[in-house]
Amino acid sequence: MEMHHHDVSIWGSWQLAPEILLPLALLCYLYIRNTKSNQYSVSRRQRIFFFSGVASILAVVVTPVGARAMDYFSLHMTQHITLMMISGPLLVLGTPNNFHPTSRIFLTLTNPWVSWFLYAALMIGVHLPVPHGFIMNNPWTHTFIEVPLYIVLPYLFYFNLLDRNLSNRRMSPAFSVISLFLMMVPETLTGFFIYTNPSSLYDDMYTLTDQRRGGSLMWSGAMIIDTIWMAFAVYHWIKSEEQKSLEVDAEIAAEQKLIKDFE
């Protein structure tokens, strides 16, 4: 496979990407409309999280990062890491507290085990030589399948891990921390394997330096970002334990009051 060549410089490459812009515009419209009504309520912080997530998507789709992601492995990996490890979690943190769809499809896809394996499969699968080569030879798969999956699957994965409140959780806060920690294993191993490989994994489509640069971004960048989200999960864990302690204290106080009333 030959490397791609362009007459335009990297920083002169921009794209509209209507396949992403139009759904994002619709999502923003629905978010603004529904959060202004009584159906859903969000705080100012949640709005900031949500629109920061949208901005992070635009930053790696319409900019040179997205426009040349098919030509440079390091840019491809930058787009991948941003969408999967920054955009998805930010959109979750910006989701209204009372947004808990009950459809069977959503509940299945956000099942902790299902979402974990889907997320890991996407992250590892698209960087295996054969699937990656197919994507590079068929750009439509990158445009209409790979990038949308980078946005949707992380949202489903983080939906139960970075819960907006401590009620209606499908997994304990402790398990959320464990799940995030375990996800670091395939992330770092994938990046490490790409970085340390002595030859091109992708039929010389990229230079070895570019391949190693992308691998190092996956290897080290993923660990740094994961640490941040683990800190969020640990914070939720601590808050949940504090809430349990308050509930236990309230029960003890009520029992003591009841005993005194009978004396």
Helices 147-158 and 73-82 pack at an angle, to 10 degrees, of 30
Characterise 40 by phi-psi region: left (phi > 0), alpha (psi -120 to 50), beta (else).
beta
CA distance 183 to 202: 25
Q: Is the CB of residue 115 less than 8 Å from the CB of residue 160?
A: yes
User: In this structure, what token pair is assigned to residue 87?
Assistant: 């955009």
Q: Is residue 4 domain-resident?
A: no
Can you give the pLDDT at residue 1? 40
pTM above 0.85, yes or no: yes
- So what's the pLDDT on residue 167? 53
The closest of 138, 153, 143, 32 to 94, measured between CA atoms, is 32
Q: Would you say residue 3 lies in a domain? A: no
For residue 59, the model assigns a pLDDT of 96
Domain that holds residue 95: 10-262
Task: Kindly state the tokens that stand for 188.
Answer: 């770092």
> Are the beta carbons of 32 and 50 closer than 8 angstroms?
no
Residue 5 domain-assigned (yes or no): no
State residue 261's pLDDT score.
Answer: 66
**What are the counts of helices (DSSP H) followed by strands (DSSP E) for the chain?**
13, 0
In angstroms, the first-to-last Cα distance of the chain is 87
Q: What is the pLDDT of residue 2?
A: 44
Q: Is residue 169 part of a domain?
A: yes
Q: Which pLDDT value is given to residue 98?
A: 82
What pLDDT does residue 32 have? Answer: 93
H-assigned helices in 68-142: 73-82, 88-93, 104-109, 112-125, 129-137, 139-141
Q: How far out from the chain centre does Cα 112 lie?
A: 14
Residue 1 lies in a domain: no
Asked if 14 contacts 67 with a C-beta cutoff of 8 angstroms, the reply is yes
H-helix or E-strand spanning residue 35: helix 18-36
Output the pLDDT for position 223: 87
Question: Quick check: is 2 in a domain?
Answer: no
| pLDDT attached to residue 79 | 96
**pLDDT digits (tens), the chain, 263 positions:** 444 545 667 777 889 899 999 999 999 999 999 888 777 888 899 999 999 999 999 999 999 999 998 889 999 999 999 999 999 999 999 998 888 888 999 999 999 899 999 999 999 999 999 999 899 889 999 999 999 999 999 999 999 888 665 555 667 788 888 899 899 888 888 999 999 998 889 888 889 999 999 999 998 888 899 899 888 888 878 887 777 777 776 777 777 777 776 66
Into how many domains does the chain fold? 1
At 197, which amino acid appears? N
CA contacts within 13 A on the Cβ side of 218: 30
Q: With 0-12 CB in 10 A as exposed, 13-18 as middle and 19+ as buried, what is 39? A: exposed
pLDDT at res. 51: 97
For residues 65 and 79, what is the distance between their CA atoms, to the nearest angstrom? 7
- Residue 38, exposed/middle/buried by CB under 10 A (0-12, 13-18, 19+)? exposed
